[in-house]
Amino acid sequence: MGRVLPGGSDRRILSGARAFPGRLLLVYLGLYVAPFPFDHLPVLGPLVSGGWRALWGAVVPWFGEHVMAIDRARIVDLPSGSGDTTFKWVRIAVFAAVAVVVAGLWTLRARGRDPARARLWIRILVRYNLAAYMLSYGLAKVLVLQFQPPTLDRLVQRFGDASPMGLLWTFMGYSPAYTIFTGALEVLGGLLLLSRRTALAGALLLVGVLANVVMLNLCYDVPVKQFSIHLLAMSLVLLAPQRRRLWGLASGAALPASTPEEPFPSPRGRRRWRIFAAALGLGLIAVQLQRQLGFRARWAATAAPSPLSGLYDVDSLLRRGEPVEPYMGSRWRWIVFDRRGDLTILHEDGAETTAYAVVDEAAQTITLKPRRAPRRSPSGTLRYTLSPAGVLDLVGELSGSDVEVRARRVDPERFLLTRQRFRWVQESPFNR
């Protein structure tokens, strides 16, 4: 049998073992939210963000290749719009490994002491970071930036050709009122987190809001799964110190006394902290509002409609003087000129080609430039005429072939989805 440890040492080991998981989670979340809030500073913010990104840009690929045996070519930090890239999954593993080491050292150094202040500071960091993200995402919904109404090409796309994410985006974008409602809940939760007195209410609200967001991302294959799960975890971490009081409230039992946690022990330190916290909260609100209003202004500047903006039903298509019959795959079915300057051609077989269209009204020409991969994006110059009746004729060279197209403008109100209106009184369901 081994040597029996003294009672005090035994208790310290047991206490450290119990404290380790909580410390591990807090250290991990601290790494995950870094370099916040320094990345929000007016001048130094971009430098801090760039340095932090460069650090992990070097560490993560090495860790993935040598520790996880992942092909290094796959571990690339590119702005693809996805939060679930190989790089970001490997970065989570790196954060977890670092957190294990730091939490272990923290536990050994504590030696039975309860470093409550360190835990409090990490929770404060998490609280303000979560508030910043909720304000950002919430304002994007309130200002109707994240989800747009169904576009013209979406209206004529075959229902079965939509991706799960595209289906979700169309569902949300169809109703600006619902989008604003969900965004308002996120903004409210973020605002409540900015004050210690209302942080519990904010965390409770956001647990419900973010649980729904996580399920949408998981069930509709939206590539921000890990990020939304982390946001939900942050809200749960903020609730953890009040778990006994919450359980007492839910079960009707006596509520334990609430002891406010202060980051500074002295009255002077607490006063200074409250002033700083108020300034930080107002700064986060101002930064997020400025960013989202800036996005809206830039979107509005690129959304001026051209005379050709609209949806066109293709009547005829000649290529090299020969008619392209329906259902031959390459025949055009619809032409869409959207407000951003894109031209989208939808084919009979469901394929799409997109190009950037530069319209010269004086010369009545359309110059098409590749928008995506060249093989999927036509190029060339077309002459156009548009009659008062909405008949569009296009003649010219497209990707090396002479084409002649006749199409007719279609009123978007012809589609049930755009013309169906809200009704209080419905004698029977209309589910189509």
In a domain, 60, yes or no: yes
Q: Residue 333's domain spans which residues?
A: 310-410
The domain tally of the chain equals 2
Ranges of the chain with pLDDT below 50:
1-6, 10, 14, 327-328, 374-375
pLDDT digits (tens, 9 = 90+) for 262-273: 777 778 888 888
CATH of the domain at 317: 2.40.128.270
CA–CA gap between residue 16 and residue 113 (Å, rounded): 9
Instruction: Say what the pTM is.
Output: 0.86
In a domain, 425, yes or no: no
Query: Are 367 and 294 part of one and the same domain?
Result: no
- The tally of CA atoms less than 13 A away on the side-chain side of residue 317 is 23
Q: Which residue has the tokens 């130094």?
A: 44
Query: Are 168 and 109 part of one and the same domain?
Result: yes
Query: Are 282 and 376 part of one and the same domain?
Result: no
Query: Are 292 and 353 part of one and the same domain?
Result: no
In a domain, 46, yes or no: yes
Token duo for residue 28: 């991990």
CA–CA gap between residue 193 and residue 423 (Å, rounded): 37
pLDDT of the residue at 2 = 47
Query: Are 121 and 215 part of one and the same domain?
Result: yes
Query: Are 270 and 318 part of one and the same domain?
Result: no
In a domain, 421, yes or no: no
In a domain, 172, yes or no: yes
Token duo for residue 376: 């999927």
pLDDT of the residue at 379 = 80
Query: Are 100 and 163 part of one and the same domain?
Result: yes
Query: Are 292 and 320 part of one and the same domain?
Result: no
Query: Are 83 and 198 part of one and the same domain?
Result: yes
pLDDT of the residue at 327 = 45
pLDDT of the residue at 195 = 92
CA–CA gap between residue 152 and residue 389 (Å, rounded): 19
Query: Are 326 and 297 part of one and the same domain?
Result: no
pLDDT of the residue at 32 = 93
Query: Are 43 and 111 part of one and the same domain?
Result: yes
pLDDT digits (tens, 9 = 90+) for 126-178: 999 999 999 999 999 999 999 989 989 899 988 888 999 999 999 999 999 99
Write the Ramachandran bin of 422: left for phi over 0, alpha for psi from -120 to 50, otherwise beta.
beta
Q: What stretch of H or E contains 402?
A: strand 401-410
Token duo for residue 106: 């923290």
In a domain, 429, yes or no: no
In a domain, 424, yes or no: no
What is the number of other CB atoms lying within 10 angstroms of the CB of residue 187?
23
In a domain, 236, yes or no: yes
pLDDT of the residue at 113 = 58
Query: Are 55 and 169 part of one and the same domain?
Result: yes
